[in-house]
């Protein structure tokens, strides 16, 4: 028990450091970054960033990939990203946020990436619509895909059986920090978001997690899920 408590306190201290927290927050866009890029976002020196990153690597919070002369850092797993995103739901507990029921509406709270899936107001509305249509349902803290849901996603070209065989969560609820409601995460959430990007329903912004919902996306989501956006 003492070892577990010690390990937990170490992880909490790692994530709680301001500079490391900023770097982890920026990694939620699902991309890999160099130490220099992460140092710039945290406004610290490259040497300091390298020390922080070494600690995060040691605890398996991050992983690193070498490409040429560069080293690119990213989350070690989707589960780690899920923990970091979920921590943002604690923002409302801070003193400066006590009188605020939800963050001020912006393009970031409307539609953004959460690791490799869709988050924000639009992400929550899509998830709610998937549930309302009987495509997925929330059971025992996981989303379950119905037979109709399998057919629905298959028609979009999403290979459900392959996704279910992956050694990771297939479909789980991720608490959206700005909406305080669930959006769809896991392999299915990632695949659906990738499909919507490929179909130009959403467009990414350079150096931002914010997304643009296109006119085509609004139209198709109205047709498929009866959502007004």
Of 133, 134, 127, the residue nearest 183 (C-alpha): 127
Do 154 and 191 have their domain in common? yes
Domain final position from 76, 107, 127: 76
Q: What is the DSSP letter of 106?
A: -
- Three-state DSSP at 43 gives coil
Do 143 and 43 have their domain in common? no
Q: Are 6 and 14 in contact (CB under 8 A)?
A: no
Do 131 and 41 have their domain in common? no
What is the chain's pLDDT, residue by residue, as a tens digit (229 residues)? 667 787 788 888 888 899 999 999 888 877 788 999 999 999 999 999 999 999 999 999 999 988 778 888 989 988 888 888 878 766 654 544 443 345 566 888 999 998 899 999 999 999 999 999 999 999 988 999 999 999 999 999 999 999 999 988 999 998 888 887 899 999 999 999 999 999 999 999 988 899 999 999 999 999 999 999 9
The model carries a pTM of: 0.72
The Cα–Cα gap between 52 and 43 comes to 13
Range of the domain at 70: 2-76
């Amino acid at each position: 028990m003492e070892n577990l408590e010690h390990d937990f306190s170490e992880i909490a201290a790692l994530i709680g450091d301001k500079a490391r927290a900023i770097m982890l927050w920026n990694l939620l866009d699902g991309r890999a970054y160099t130490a220099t890029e992460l140092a710039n976002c945290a406004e610290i020196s490259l040497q300091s960033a390298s020390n922080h990153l070494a600690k995060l690597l040691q605890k398996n919070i991050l992983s690193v990939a070498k490409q040429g002369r560069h080293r690119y850092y990213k989350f070690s797993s989707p589960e780690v990203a899920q923990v970091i995103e979920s921590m943002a739901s604690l923002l409302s507990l801070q003193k400066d946020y006590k009188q605020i029921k939800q963050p001020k509406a912006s393009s970031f709270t409307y539609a953004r990436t959460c690791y490799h899936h869709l988050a924000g107001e639009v992400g929550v509305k899509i998830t709610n619509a998937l549930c309302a249509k009987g495509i997925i349902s929330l059971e025992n803290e996981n989303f379950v895909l119905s037979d109709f849901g399998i057919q629905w996603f298959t028609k979009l070209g999403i290979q459900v059986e392959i996704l279910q065989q992956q050694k990771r969560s297939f479909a789980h609820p991720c608490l959206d920090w700005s909406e305080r409601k669930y959006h769809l995460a896991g392999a299915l959430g990632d695949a659906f978001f990738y499909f919507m990007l490929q179909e130009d329903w959403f467009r990414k912004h350079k150096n931002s997690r914010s997304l643009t919902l296109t006119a085509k996306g609004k139209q198709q989501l109205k047709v498929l899920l009866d959502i007004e956006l």
